Amino acid sequence: MYKVVSRRPLNDSVTQLEIEAPLVARKARPGQFIILRVDEEGERIPLTIAGSDPEKGKVKIIFQIVGATTEALNHKMEGDHLEDFAGPLGEPTRTEGIRKVCIIGGGVGCAIAMPVAQEFHRLGAEVTSIIGFRNKDIVILEEEFDKCSDHLYVMTDDGSYGRPGNVTVPLKELLEAGEQFDEIITIGPLIMMKFVTLTAEPFKVPVTVSMNPIMIDGTGMCGCCRLTLIQDGKRVTKFACVDGPDFNGYEVDFDEAMSRNRMYSDFERHAYEKTCNLFKKEEA
């Protein structure tokens, strides 16, 4: 069992937990993820590692309440325990040879982008961060990004905080002004990552995207997290859990990935409603 040592709501639907998991903390690198179960009857879900402390044996995870399992996870308080917490899994984000990087996070994807930005800052790279949200009420981790970024742009779709517009607005401005990044790393909704890639393409800047498809076992055996890449004109199947989660944005078939991610939306909604009703009865 894995103890919850701290709990911090970041907004009404996003929560940060710190978990006591010494073996995971010892090996974790930015870009990697864990798979957890809330209880012995729970489903497995993947969550990216949002930070780790090897000396104290703690691992941070940040999640948005979108389904039954994240709803149950959000009810875990300090001192409670999780059934399983396996990792680290996946390949860490590549940092070698990158001296000037643009990190782009969207919504809860900022929880994944933040440790990557922090790692580049630690290594002495020049870090430009662009983070985007629908509105000011769901802005998260601005202070953390500010500390590890040489330049920070905060965007909201409705203009209620920071600059109005989506994350491609400052990216395009920077590229048109002649900024030459060694790499653009973007993490967030699939549609956002698709358009970040399209924005960067005319400028021939390498783009890395962090993919978050449906996943079960985290070892490549179940096949649920398969992605299609276009390499040399051929369609190639890869698995996000073992080959990623980072991929070349110019190779990803985003339209297929978005279609696959919608496959179980109705089932998840019903499971979420059932779980919410269960907690309401327990609290009554």
pLDDT at residue 279 in the model:
47
Q: Which of 180, 243, 182 is nearest to 210 (CA)?
A: 243
- Burial label, 271 (beta-carbon count in 10 A; 0-12, 13-18, 19+): middle
Q: How far apart are CA 192 and CA 215, in angstroms?
A: 21
Q: SS3 sequence, 7-47?
A: EEECCCCEEEEEEECHHHHHHCCCCCEEEEECCCCCCCEEE
Task: Name residue 1's amino acid.
Answer: M
More confident residue, 219 or 266: 219
Answer whether residue 274 shows pLDDT above 70: no
* 11, 166, 255 from 63: Cα distances, Å: 11, 22, 24
User: What is the DSSP secondary-structure string of 66-102?
Assistant: -SHHHHHHHT--TT-EESEEEEEESPPPP-TT--EEE
CB 48 within 8 A of CB 32: yes
Answer whether residue 103 shows pLDDT above 50: yes
pLDDT at residue 243 in the model:
87
Give pLDDT tens digits for 42-68. 888 899 999 999 999 999 999 999 888
Instruction: List all residues 6 or more positions away from 136 whose beta carbon is below 8 Å from its beta carbon.
Output: 156, 160, 161, 162
Interstrand relation of 151-156 and 163-164 (parallel, antiparallel or unpaired): parallel
Give pLDDT tens digits for 65-83. 988 889 999 999 999 999 9
Of the options 3.50.50.60, 2.60.120.260, 2.40.30.10, 3.40.50.2000, the CATH number for the domain spanning 2-89: 2.40.30.10
Domain ranges of the chain: 2-89, 100-261
Give pLDDT tens digits for 224-261. 788 899 999 999 999 888 888 999 999 999 998 888 77
* 49, 220, 239 from 217: Cα distances, Å: 17, 7, 11
pLDDT at residue 241 in the model:
83
3-state secondary structure of 64: strand
pLDDT at residue 224 in the model:
78
Residues forming beta bridges with residue 252, ordered by sequence position:
229
- What are 98's two structure tokens? 């990158």
pTM of the model: 0.86
CATH architecture of the domain with residue range 100-261: 3-Layer(aba) Sandwich (3.40)
- What are 136's two structure tokens? 């000011």
